[in-house]
Chain A
Amino acid sequence: MIFSRYLFFILSFVAIYAALKVLISKKPMHSVLYLTLAFFAIAGHYILLNAQFLAVVHIIVYAGAIMVLFIYTVMLLNLNIQGEFPKSKLAKIASAIAGGLLLMTLIAVFRTYDLKMATDPSLNQIGLVKNLGKVLFEEYYLPFELSSVLFLAAMVGAVMLGKKDIY
């Protein structure tokens, strides 16, 4: 099963490449499409962790709903005609250095940890829909119902903000 390790590296490479291309791409539409690729690679990671439920929800929510929203917004705002607004060279270099320092700090902090792995993720069954559904509808039933109220509020808010004559 050394195969899963190769799969991990391939998926990580695709995700990081797509994430970098989100930043490098000049046109917002290309950024959106590369972001979709990154989301699919992350869904592959969820499957590798044996979290099938999360993988399916991730594809439905991110690649399905959020990406459609982003693409519609790009088309509504007509950004490809208006063009991009590049930052100054100094600001770009400064932010790249800041991000690199953050990455260095995170890795330096985490590499000193001695992480003990309790189980092999490819053997446990907690990520399956059946087991996760049992936990969700027994222990976390109230937050699950409250999230529907959150969605209703978000829907009303989005419709209200989208109306033309409110300001």
Chain B
Amino acid sequence: MSGTLQNMQIIPLDYYIFFCSALFAIGVVGVLVKRNALVIFMSIELMLNSANLLLAAFSAYRNDPAGQIFVFFIMVVAAAEVAIGLALLVMIYRSTHTIDINVLNKLKW
């Protein structure tokens, strides 16, 4: 009885998987659909966050603190990545006066 009652209370782990999958898919669509490099960068942050949330959810349900430490380190790396990425973006804008990725195709072929 207490087991079924407890199962009623807990949010199933599947819900987190589906939610994070949806968030990740939205991020992928954002990378594909946008031409503004800044918005593409934001979509990448969104994907990173969905992976982080799923890692934290598994850690909480498994009672293992290593997963949450890992999320913390991912956040550290993401902060450094954003600082460098935005500096690069400003530099590209200064030399080409646009951040439209269809113009920035010199490395394509």
Judge: A and B partners, yes or no: yes
State the A residues within 8 Å of B (CB): 1-2, 4-5, 8, 12, 15-16, 19-20, 22-23, 28, 31-32, 35, 38-39, 42, 45-46, 48-51, 53-54, 57-58, 61-62, 65-66, 69-70, 73-74, 76-77, 79, 82, 84-87, 91-92, 94-96, 98-100, 102-103, 106-107, 110-111, 115, 117-122, 124, 126-127, 131-132, 135-136, 139-140, 143, 147, 150-151, 153-155, 157-158, 161-162, 164, 167
B46/A22 in contact, CB under 8 A: yes
Residues of B within 8 A of A70 (CB): 38, 41-42, 82, 86
Residues of B within 8 A of A61 (CB): 75, 78-79
State the B residues within 8 Å of A (CB): 6, 8-15, 17-19, 21-30, 32-36, 38-39, 41-43, 45-46, 49, 52-53, 56-57, 59-66, 68-69, 71-73, 75-84, 86-91, 93-95, 98-100, 102
A19/B26 in contact, CB under 8 A: yes
Please pick, from A35, A150, A157, the residue contacting B87 in the complex, using a CB distance under 8 A.
Answer: A157
B29/A98 in contact, CB under 8 A: yes
